[in-house]
Structures are given as C-alpha cells and as structure tokens.
Amino acid sequence: MTAYVEFKNVEKAFAGKPVLKGMSLAVNKGEVMFIIGTSGVGKSVTIKHLIGLLRIDAGEIWFDGKRVDQLVERQFAPLRKRIGMVFQSSTLFDSMTLAENVALPLRKHGKLGHAEALEQARVRLAQVYMAEHADRYPAELSDGMRKRAAIARTLALEPEVVLFDEPTTGLDPVSARRIDRLIRELADTLGVTAIVVSHDPSSIFGIADRVAFLYRGVVHVTATPADLRASPDPLVQQFITGTSSGPMETPGF
Amino acid sequence: MIARLGTSVVGALRSARDLWLVLLSTLAGVIRRGGAQGELVRQMHAIGNKSVLFVVVTLGFIGMVMAYEACNQLSRITGDYSAVGSQFIRLIVSDFGPTLTGLMLATRVGAGIAAEIGSMKVTEQIDALRMSGVLPIDYLIVPRFIASLIMTLLLSVIGALVMFGAGGLTAEHSFGVNPSIFYDFTYVRPRHMILFMIKALSYGAAIPVVAGFCGLRARGSSEGVGWATTAAVIGSSFAVIVLDFVISAAALFLTGGDL
C-alpha cells in the first residue's frame, strides 16, 4: 500500500539546535495515526511541515503521490484546502464571531459569498453543537467551546487529512472523549486521514489505528496501540506508564 | 569575537531584507486591495480617533514650551516679537508638526500594532490565517497601513494647529504678544506644505510596517510579545527620526538651502 502522507529522512533545526534528525513516517489513507513523544521532541513541528507552516532543512515530504516540501507559499493554498489543522490553542480570531471565524476559510478557499459562507458556517457549528453560540465572540466562551468551534472551522472545507495538535489538552474528560469520538467518526464515516499529536493515553489507546513514538529526532517505533502496550522496549514502557526514572533520562533529546 | 560580529551583521542584514519584503508585500496588498473595508474603518478609529487626545495634549504642551522659550530668549536679546509667530509656524509646518505627531504615534500606535500582531503570532493565529487562505500581511498590515497613512496626515494637521494655537496663547499671556502679530502665516510657502505632507505620509507608512514586522517576528510566549512591542516602539521612533533627517536633507538639497 502506498502511503498517503510520507515524511522521508526529515531534518529540522532551530537556531542550530537539531529537533528532527532524519525522521521518517508513513501514514495511510483513512488512518488515525497518533504521534507521541515527550515535550519538545518535534511532534507539532513534524505536522506543521506537511502544510508549509514550517520548512524542512533536509529530507522529503510527500502527499498523495506529490512532493510538497519544495512548494512556495502560494502553492500551498490548494494543499491547505485538502489538509486542515486544528491547532493546540483554539486560534480563533478574537475580532470575529464564531460564525465569521468558520466562514473565513469558506470565503477565502471555498470562494463563497459572505452570506452563503455565514450560512454554511452555522451548519458546521451545529455539527459540533455550537449553533446557539454562532454570534458570540471567542473571548465569551470556555476553552472546550472554542476548541469545538476551531474544529468546525477546520472541517468546514471538508479536508481529506486533518492534523490535530494536542486536541484534548486542557479539556475536561467528557469533552476530551467527545473530541476523540469525533476524530474516530471522521475516519470511519468520511474516510478522513487523521494525524494526531497527543500525550493523552485515553486518546492514544482509545482511537488510534497506529502510533508513532518520536524520540531523539526520529520515529523510534511505529505500532498499533495493542502492540505498543505489549512492547518490551523500556523507552516505550517508560513513556506509556509515565515513569519518571528509566532510560529516557533527558526528555526529548 | 569576529565570528560573533559576523553573525550580528548577517542577522541585521537579514532583518533589513525581511523588513523590505514586508514593505513590498504591503504595497502589493494595497494595490490588489487586500484587507476588508470594515477592518479599515476599525483601524482608522483605533489609530486616529483614539490618538487625538494624546496628540493634542502632547503637541499642545510642546507648543507652549517652545513658544515660551523662543519669547524668553528674544526678550533677553532684542525684545522684538514681531517674527516669532511667523517663524514658529514655518518650523511647525516644515518639521515639528508632522515629526512630533509621528513620534507620538510611533509610541502609541506602534506598540499597539506590535502587541496585537505579536499575540496573534505566538498563539498560532497567524498560522491559522494562512490555513484559512488569508495572506497575513493583507489581513493584518494592509488595513493598518492605509489607516495610518490617512490618520497620521490628519493628526499632523490637528497637532500642528494645536501646537501653533497653544504657542500663541502662551506668547500672549506670558509676554503680551499680540495674537494678530503671532498668528502670521507670511513665511509659510507651498514647499513647506508639500514637505509637511511628504513627512506625514512617510511616517504614516513607516510606523505600521515597522511595528507589523516586529509583531510578525514575535517568538515564544508573552516575553516574545513584550520584546516585539519594545522593538516596535524603538524601531518606528527611529524610523521617524531617520526619515525626518533624510527628507529634510533632500528638501534642503532640492531648494538649494532656501527652505
């Protein structure tokens, strides 16, 4: 099976400090792939490369049979229509209502008129149970509500791939499981490919098809959740059990 | 030591190149009419209306101090106040009006723009804009650029009038200078008015570009926003002073020193 999204020997450094050191990862179409690892190991950095928010120093990135790491900013526009991203913080625009926030990509990417985009935005908000808050501003809402609206904004363009950057961080357990269920449903019912950066064991072992464990700038292991749990690898065991002492002496690097 | 110096020079050159690219992208955005109409009105209110009191108060006080000092010096030398008002307004129109207004706006508006854009940068809202198909410069800097051009010119006119008015009142009440003598526009020529407009528009263009550039370079968290805000105030104030020097020097050169 040809990978739908593929990172090949990707390298990235910030101010001379290497973060990714030849990282390779293949994600299949319709798969829910979790990327896990300690803070600062480069999980968010990895997914941002796919949509050109960051540029790799070396290596290759492929999406749907085309190399995308060499595209210029303007050429990323059609790609960002096909690949959506839910950021770690909600990233809603404070000066816009929720409906206006969701309508923005519909107007810019989808080329819809203002009224039509707003109408569709309300439908999208209803899908995440936020219809009654459509005319409110982000500052008036809780973190969980903002996160749901941000997901509605991302899904408004019906992307083929959705990147989730710690989607359940900061949410109460009920809201977190609802987000998990939404991700799983996207993959199962719409065939959406989801790449999820997460630290949340309930999410990882609840909805992932496969898990990539990032360590020292490379993918240390890729496995199903069950195989990961059963892995004898002391690094993996230390991470999934959350033990403070073990071979993972220096978190991240 | 040499390596560190080289790194600093390369960094400074890269920053200058990036600033230039932001300016070019902003001008391109203006040409393709980037930015929303509503946002332009909002920015004109934020940059213009909300700065009126600040500009009026500061330039009013500066006008009072300058007129007082000018009259005070004249009283010690000749006691002839007949030319103080006409020379004062010539100086205000050709330099102090737009430049002092520009400096005031560099602090108030520059800090505001950098803080707002910097906060959006560190909270990934700029990335979210790019994901939504929006060019961040079109959305964030172009409306501020156009608003700043218009409002800096208007505020410079208001500031200059207040400065002259306050100076005249001070001269009258402190030194008994007749207002009809003080409020004399004889020495203000069209070239001074052109210089006034060029300076005001240049400052109006420089402040949002420099401040926006600093905001877009914010990194990390609140500390990064603080750094961006400080850099924006310093950078845009510096830009006003450098532009004042360059434009004044060019004007002197073009008029053969008869400005």
Residue A251 falls inside a structural domain: no
**8 A C-beta contact, residue A36 and residue A252:** no
Q: DSSP string of A182-223? A: HHHHHHHHH--EEEEE---HHHHHHH-SEEEEEETTEEEEEE
Residue B35 — very low, low, confident or very high, per pLDDT cuts 50/70/90?
low
Quote the number of domains for chain A.
1
The average pLDDT across B159-185 equals 95
Please indicate whether, in this complex, the C-beta atoms of A81 and B125 are within 8 angstroms of each other: no
Residues in a beta bridge with A18: A13
> What percent of chain A has a predicted confidence (pLDDT) above 70?
98
Looking at beta carbons, which residues of chain A come within 8 Å of B39?
Answer: 95
Q: What average pLDDT does this structure show over B35-45?
A: 84
In a domain, A252, yes or no: no
CB B117 within 8 A of CB B5: no
Instruction: Summarize pLDDT for B174-212 with one digit per residue, the tens.
Output: 999 999 999 999 899 999 999 999 999 999 999 999 999
pLDDT at B34: 62
* pLDDT at A129 (0 to 100): 86
Is the residue at A246 inside a domain?
no
Note whether A98 contacts B: Cβ–Cβ < 8 A. Answer: no
- Alpha-carbon distances of B5 from B2, B8, B11, B16, B234, rounded to whole Å: 5, 5, 10, 17, 22
User: Taking a C-beta distance cutoff of 8 angstroms, is the pair B204, B148 a contact?
Assistant: yes
In a domain, residue A99? The reply is yes
Q: Do B127 and A87 touch (CB under 8 A)?
A: yes
The whole-number mean pLDDT for each consecutive block of 10 residues of chain A, a chain of 253 residues, reads 90 92 95 93 94 95 95 91 91 91 92 92 91 94 89 93 91 88 92 93 93 94 94 90 78 49
- Which residues of A are less than 8 Å from B124 in CB distance? 87-89, 91
**Could you tell me the residue ranges of all domains in chain B?**
37-254
Residues of A in contact with B127 (CB under 8 A): 48, 53, 85, 87, 91
Give the ipTM: 0.86
Q: Is residue A105 part of a domain?
A: yes
Which range marks the domain in which residue A136 is found? 5-241
Chain B residues at the A interface, defined by Cβ less than 8 Å, are: 39, 42, 123-125, 127-134
Cβ separation B131–A51 shorter than 8 A: yes
CB contact, 8 Å: A109 with chain B? yes
- Give the model's pLDDT for residue A253: 47
Of A48, A95, A104, the CB nearest to B134: A104
- Check: CB of residue A35 under 8 Å from CB of residue A48: no
The count of other CB atoms within 10 Å of the CB of residue A138 is: 20
Q: How much is the pLDDT for B209?
A: 97
Percent of residues, chain B, with pLDDT higher than 70: 99
Q: For residue A93, what is the DSSP state?
A: -
* CATH code, A136: 3.40.50.300
CA-to-CA distance for A77 and B194, rounded, in angstroms?
Answer: 43
pLDDT at A249: 61
**Sorting pLDDT into bands at 50, 70 and 90, what band is B79?**
confident
Tell me if A250 is assigned to some domain: no
B81-130: per-residue pLDDT in tens? 989 999 999 999 999 999 999 999 999 999 999 999 999 999 999 999 99
How far does A92 lie from chain B, in Å, by closest CA?
7
What per-residue confidence (pLDDT) applies to B47? 94
In a domain, A249, yes or no: no
Closest listed residue to residue A54, CA positions, set A86, A8, A12, A117 = A12
Chain A partners within 8 Å of B4 (Cβ): none
A244 burial via Cβ count (<10 Å: 0-12, 13-18, 19+): exposed
Residue of chain B whose alpha carbon sits nearest to that of A165: B124
Query: What one-letter code names the amino acid at A147?
Result: K
- Asked whether residue A121 is domain-assigned, the answer is yes
